[in-house]
Amino acid sequence: MRLNIVTYPDKTLRKKNEEVKEVDQDIKNLALDMIETMHGANGAGIAAPQVGVNKKIIIVNWQKEDYVFINPRIIKKSFLKYTDKEGCLSFPGLEIMVKRPKKITVKAIDYSGKSIEIIADGMFARILQHEIDHIEGNLLIDFASKKGKDEYKKSLN
């Protein structure tokens, strides 16, 4: 089922997100709905708060494959960083240059409830970091200059 995407400045995007205690059928159904929603919006990733659910779940589409990460956390970041343009489903029309570590290691639980640890590089790492930011209450607009923030907020009126 396709879900509604929450857009800025909805307060759901800044709320504290709960860890998932058990990967039950409700969590699996939510993950499947998030995947459908992400594809319907042509996104590369989506986080549960973006569909109004304050739980630590993210979906990433990488190389035509959908990945479910539950309670993801970055445990290692490379010293090497790079800057690239990012957009966000919760910020229609906004694109910002963001500097992020080029390589990260993430620990999470997958769709089947198994503990996983992955090493991601380049764009895959960037998408993961962007979505993990969402479940930590950090948003794309936080990376914008004051002028960029002001312009975007004006565009909402």
Any idea which residues carry the catalytic annotation?
A: 131
Phi, psi of 126 (to 5 degrees): -60, -45
Letter for the amino acid at 104? I
